[in-house]
């Protein structure tokens, strides 16, 4: 966990890019109600005393309820305080919904991991519809999210994010996104259309975003994925290592 404090600060700043996120004493309430899933709506970066936990949970419940969110989700890490928070949540009807591996690039040759059959293009703001529709298909997002997802991606691009699309025989088949600040390059939304998977496309999209992060002068490169999944194994082959684990706890309101 060499980089944990810097990585978690980066995550904190990423969340503040969401329009309704609230930075409160001892935590941050990430909120994007148009996308009612934990990744966009959760409590993170908690650093409070044990006797403040119930008050924070009450405040979080009210905050998300007033924004139409039907659950409270918390993201805990080794920096979360109190250390007993996970046990407290499980004893108060929160369900542990999974774990994310926060990974950093350590070393490895990159050029020889690029597939010659995949061409990578960077889309402009005027092409946001093409990129967003592809990403929504890849990640199986509901069609009702399309308008707001376009807005979300465009907002990140206007804040310096870069949206990459992978093409095979001229057809757009996969995406990746690079969001850099704090000399840290975060790689997001790496995915491939189902019928094009296991052909090195996701690897190429990851490596391309990583190479661009290096070119931008970042000295830390990171991504997050489900702990122990196929994607984690793919990223390890590229040269990423797990720095620390984030756990997700959810309770319906």
Tens digit of each residue's pLDDT (9 = 90 or more) over 122-165 = 999 999 988 999 999 999 999 999 999 999 999 999 999 999 99
Residue of 66, 69, 46 whose CA lies nearest to 57: 46
Number of residues that this document lists for the chain: 253
Distances (CA, A) of 19 to 32, 41, 150, 155: 7, 11, 14, 10
**25 CB burial (10 A radius; 0-12, 13-18, 19+):** exposed
State yes or no: pLDDT of 238 exceeds 80: yes
According to CATH, the topology of domain 111-245 is Aminopeptidase (3.40.630)
Digit-coded pLDDT (tens) for 32-64: 999 999 999 999 999 999 999 999 999 999 999
Model pLDDT, residue 96: 96
Q: Does 25 sit behind a cis peptide bond, omega within 30 degrees of 0 on the bond before it?
A: no
How far is the C-alpha of 48 from the C-alpha of 222, rounded, in Å? Answer: 27
Task: In whole angstroms, give the CA distance from residue 234 to residue 225.
Answer: 11
pTM of the complete model:
0.94
pLDDT tens by residue, 82-103:
999 999 999 999 999 999 999 9
Q: Is the pLDDT of residue 2 over 80?
A: no
Reading the block at residue 22, the tokens are 């609230």
In the chain, ranges of CATH 3.40.630.30 domains = 111-245
160-192 pLDDT per residue, tens: 999 999 999 999 999 999 999 999 999 999 999
**What percent of the chain has pLDDT above 90?**
94
DSSP state of 124: P
Which positions ≥6 away from 64 have C-beta within 8 Å? 29, 31, 41, 71, 72, 253
DSSP letters for 17-56: TSTT-EEETTEEEE--TTS-SGGGSEEES-B--GGGHHHH
């Amino acid at each position: 966990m060499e980089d944990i404090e810097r990585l978690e600060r980066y995550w904190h700043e990423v969340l503040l890019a969401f329009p309704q996120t609230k930075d409160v004493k001892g935590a941050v309430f990430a909120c994007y109600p148009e996308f009612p899933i934990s990744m966009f709506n959760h409590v993170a970066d908690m650093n409070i005393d044990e006797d403040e936990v119930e008050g924070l949970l009450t405040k979080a419940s009210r905050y998300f309820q007033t924004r139409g969110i039907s659950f409270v989700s918390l993201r805990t890490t080794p920096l979360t305080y109190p250390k007993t928070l996970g046990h407290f949540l499980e004893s108060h009807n929160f369900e542990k919904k999974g774990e994310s591996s926060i990974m950093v690039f350590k070393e490895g040759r990159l050029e020889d991991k690029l597939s010659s059959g995949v061409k990578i293009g960077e889309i402009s703001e005027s092409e946001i519809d093409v990129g967003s529709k592809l990403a929504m298909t890849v990640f199986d997002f509901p069609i009702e999210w399309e308008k707001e997802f376009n807005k979300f991606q465009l907002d990140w691009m206007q804040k310096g994010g870069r949206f990459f699309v992978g093409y095979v025989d001229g057809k757009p088949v996969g995406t990746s996104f690079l969001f850099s600040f704090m000399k840290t390059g975060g790689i997001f939304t790496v995915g491939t259309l189902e019928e094009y998977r296991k052909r090195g496309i996701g690897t190429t999209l990851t490596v391309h975003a990583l190479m661009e992060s290096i070119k931008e002068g970042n000295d830390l490169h990171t991504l997050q994925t489900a702990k122990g999944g196929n994607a984690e194994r793919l990223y390890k082959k590229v040269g990423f290592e797990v720095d620390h684990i984030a756990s997700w706890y959810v309770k319906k309101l």
